[in-house]
A and B are shown apart, each in its own frame.
Chain A
Amino acid sequence: MADLRELYQEVILEHSKAPRNFRELQGANHKAEGYNPLCGDHFTVYLDLETGESQDGGTIRDIAFQGSGCAISKASASMMTQSIKGKTRAEAEKLFDRFHNLVTGKAGENDSQTDLGKLSVFSGVSEFPVRVKCATLAWHTLRAALEGKNDTASTE
């Protein structure tokens, strides 16, 4: 059960039961749907992204999500919204890269876990390769929303 506790950490279970920012965001100017065709998980990510041209792509003023999925995907979406709010688009992209490295077990020397903050609780996912898609679904959806795509992001 040691491995399982690594995966299903208390924080993750808590977020999956009571996800934060779990609502439709009124006044969102970016939105994307994410879907994992293998398991049926689907999420919608809403963004209020600062408009206007800026080098860092503007600040994410607000973020929310809706949908359904397993504990890992839901907790990941919930914690993503917390860590992304107030960040610039460039910072969000960078964080996704770090997060992706973490859950795929590819974290490099430069990826100190402090950068990830609370998100480091997802490190256990790297021991469960088939669950990487669960952990990254919301992030893929966030990326699609940032890119302003209206189509559905997919883990496939």
Chain B
Amino acid sequence: MNALTNQILWPESSAGTEFDVLKARKDFPILNVKVHGKPLVYLDNAATSQKPQMVLDALTHYYTAENANVHRGVHALSGLATESHDRARSKVQRFINAAEPSEIVFVRGTTEGVNLVAQTYGRTHVRSGDEIVISGLEHHSNIVPWQILCEQQGARLRVIPVNDQGEIELDEVEKLIGPRTKLLAIAHVSNALGTITPLREVIEIAHRENVPVLVDGAQAAPHLKIDVQALDADFYVLSGHKMYAPMGIGVLYGKRALLEAMPPYQGGGDMISSVTFEKTLYNKLPFKFEAGTPDVSGAIGLGAAVDYLSATGLDRIAAHEHELLVYATEALSSIPGVRILGTAKSKAAVISFLIENIHAHDVGTILDQEGIAIRTGHHCAQPLMQRFGVDATARASFGLYNIKEEVDALAEGILKVREVFA
């Protein structure tokens, strides 16, 4: 095997054919794991997704055949690593339909992406008395960076209210945006409830007032086709690990003009073009925002995940997951004492639920004994939990490899929970 020419073979596009979920399951080795002696039923995809063999192979291939530092050496491996890193960036660019690869900044994840924008764009544009608008659906990572910014600059956080179904109140967006609004930050899909927000409308309203919009796309990327240009999003952030890629890699998309005007986030290697003790010239985009040796393998793994999603077809994944959502909603609703939180008309395959008189934590422990992995707690969205007057929910979130039999297992598991507490 020639180390320098060895290429990973990607599955051929299967567009137009039916989605074969049982075949897809074979791509995820971890699904063979037994938990407490039972087959793993992994329903915690909103926390992190499992990784297909293709992604794992891409990581192994990089470290066994290409590893070297990027943008530095004249030697062959450094060139190869740089090429692979660049190729991964282009794959992500096409995946979210950004205008050019230089608008794709690699970060550690959604959280870092939001913080980057808050501390660069935010610090230069937000002044005392200004306002940042977010929604009541947000994950803590799209709340706290803005609170920190507001504290630093003496600005104020305004919140778009959420209705009883878990949808944002679109009428309120217009009222909240005013001359002092400097940025609007909103989730594409709520991690806690699964609500898909009406992004196009929100962005249109914001742009009418010249307010840029940052979209937290962490929960959308594995489920929906993203087109940042069609959305006209100013910033779009996502995490690789929720879309079948490794942990520790994420993406900040920004419109070129905005990124160009922003100061750097961190100083260090790679983000400079020349340094003297008097003055440093910063590198061009996107490297200006990528100080230090990047997570090259992570980016390559993300590129492989993007290939996997594209080959499988996001529309077919979305259709399969929607079928699971409808099936699971029906199955859980028919169990006495179970209440589903978040009944938005437009939802990703996430079901937050409560069982009468039984705490979510206890539900999680008992389901775990059945091999069923769900998330329990406040889902890093405490203000949203407060909005609904609950401390915690149990959350089942589905991925492309989940099947109806696993929904049945969940429903049976819930009956067992009720039995233990009977």
Contacts and interface: CB of A to CB of B under 8 A. Distances in A.
Interface of A: 1, 3-5, 7-8, 13, 17, 38-42, 68-74, 128, 130-131, 134
Interface of B: 357-362, 365-366, 369, 376-378, 382, 385, 391-392, 416, 420-421
Contacts, number: 55
Given A39-B377, A40-B382, A40-B385, A71 B359 contact: yes
A40 B358 contact: no
Interface residues of chain A: helix, strand, loop or mixed (majority): helix
Nearest to A3: B369
A4 B420 contact: yes
B361 A39 contact: yes
A5 B385 CA distance: 30
A40 B122 CA distance: 31
A69 B359 contact: yes
A69 B366 CA distance: 16
A130 B362 CA distance: 11
B419 to A, nearest CB: 9
B369 A39 contact: no
B382 A71 contact: no
12 contacts: A1-B369, A8-B362, A40-B377, A40-B378, A40-B382, A41-B361, A41-B391, A42-B391, A69-B361, A71-B358, A128-B365, A131-B365
Nearest to A74: B359
A39 B382 CA distance: 10
Nearest to B420: A8
Given A1-B369, A3-B369, A7-B365, A39 B420 contact: no
A135 to B, nearest CB: 11
A44 to B, nearest CB: 14
B391 A40 contact: yes
Contacts of A71: 358-359, 362, 421
Contacts of A39: 360-361, 376-378, 391-392
Contact of B361 (A4, A42, A70): A70
Given A4-B366, A39-B378, A41-B361, 12 more contacts: A1-B369, A4-B369, A4-B420, A8-B420, A40-B385, A40-B391, A69-B359, A70-B361, A71-B362, A128-B365, A131-B361, A131-B365
Contact of B392 (A8, A40, A74, A131): A40
A32 to B, nearest CB: 19
Looking at B365, B382, B420, the one whose CB has the most chain A CB atoms below 10 A away is B365
B391 A68 contact: yes
B361 A134 contact: yes
9 closest Cβ contacts across the A-B interface? A70-B361, A70-B359, A40-B391, A39-B377, A40-B378, A71-B362, A40-B392, A70-B362, A39-B361
A3 B376 CA distance: 20
